[in-house]
Amino acid sequence: MQIYLDSANIQHIQQAASWGIIDGVTTNPSLLAKEDPKVDVKQRILEIHKMVGGHLSVEVISTNTDGMLREAEEIRSWFPEATIKIPMLPAGLAAVKELSKKNIPTNVTLIFSPIQALAANNAGATYVSLFLGRLDDIGMNSASILEEVANIWYVHNFESKIIAASIRNPLHIIQSAKVGAHIATVPFDVLKKSLMHPLTDQGIDIFLKDYDRMQTEIQKIITE
Ligand code: E4P
């Protein structure tokens, strides 16, 4: 399962990219506004693209098909590899259909149910983003909904890729990997936390102390 960073923060993207474990970045208007409400979106997106180079989802803000298609064209003029992130609306599905005819990659966002995921796939989406954290927030079981989506994908051998989105904790990442999501898009703090383990820190501490002890013994032998 690939990992994308769900962020518009340059420092975070730079740091996560330097760890060699991310294959792309997903952004949305809220993530961009969180960094700086006055941000120049085009400039920020191009900065991220230059830094990571892999998948980069850029979201449209129109809610009608023509507006979405116009925005898609604009975004693709910034860099031709852009994946266009389209909201899960009937008008969005129509835009996805049009873009898929031109082989333009799309990521259908704000998916909360298997039927929405199926519809996005049938419209020709390249990626379908199921929001786990927001489902859990309203008392739904995101793990079982993701499992249903994954089962449908494997029964039908769909080509589109499932992105587990709205990830809030390391368990969401593992649940996504276990059921066969193709990608998890993860916020920086969750990704960093996921890599930590107290036994790893303790182990490093012991190794370093033992190494120092060894050096002290060698020094004693040399000076005797
Ligand atoms: C990713 O594509 C989504 O925009 C993102 O994961 C949403 O996450 P949130 O529910 O934490 O805002």
Residue range 60-110, pLDDT digits in tens: 999 999 999 999 999 999 999 999 999 999 999 999 999 999 999 999 999
Task: Determine the Cα–Cα distance for residues 184 and 4; give it in Å rounded to an integer.
Answer: 6
Tell how far the Cα of 131 is from the centroid of ligand 1, in angstroms: 7
In the structure, which protein residues have their CB atom closer than 6 angstroms to any atom of ligand 1?
Answer: 6, 26, 28, 109, 129, 131, 133-134, 165-166, 185
Query: What does the pLDDT average to over 171-187?
Result: 98
**Are 127 and 183 a contacting pair, CB within 8 Å?**
yes
Q: How many CA atoms lie within 13 A of 84 on its CB side?
A: 34
Per-residue model confidence as pLDDT tens digits over 113-145: 999 999 999 999 999 999 999 999 999 999 999
Q: Are strands 83-87 and 55-59 parallel, antiparallel or unpaired?
A: parallel
- Is residue 85 flagged as an active site residue? yes
163 CA closest ligand 1 atom index: 2
Report the candidate in 55, 62, 58 with the shortest Cα–Cα distance to residue 43.
58
Task: Determine the Cα–Cα distance for residues 84 and 87; give it in Å rounded to an integer.
Answer: 10
Residue among 85, 101, 209, 220 flagged as catalytic: 85
**Are 145 and 113 a contacting pair, CB within 8 Å?**
yes
Tell how far the Cα of 100 is from the centroid of ligand 1, in angstroms: 23
Task: Determine the Cα–Cα distance for residues 141 and 132; give it in Å rounded to an integer.
Answer: 8
pLDDT of 204 above 90: yes
Per-residue model confidence as pLDDT tens digits over 180-201: 999 999 999 999 999 999 999 9
Please report which helix (H) or strand (E) contains residue 161, including its range: strand 161-165
Site to substitute for ligand 1 among 146, 185, 190, 191, most atoms within 8 A of C-beta:
185
Of 33-37, 48-52, 128-132, 145-149, give the lowest mean pLDDT range.
Answer: 33-37
Task: Determine the Cα–Cα distance for residues 128 and 137; give it in Å rounded to an integer.
Answer: 20
Tell how far the Cα of 127 is from the centroid of ligand 1, in angstroms: 14
The tokens describing 167, both together, are: 């990830």
Burial 163-172 (b: 16+ CB within 10 A, else e): bbbbbbeeeb
Residue with CA at minimum distance from ligand 1 atom 11: 166
Q: How confident is the model at residue 57 (pLDDT cuts 50, 70, 90)?
A: very high
Tell how far the Cα of 165 is from the centroid of ligand 1, in angstroms: 6
Task: Read off the pTM.
Answer: 0.94
Task: Determine the Cα–Cα distance for residues 129 and 121; give it in Å rounded to an integer.
Answer: 11
Q: Residues with Cβ < 8 Å from 116, sequence gap 6 or more?
A: 88
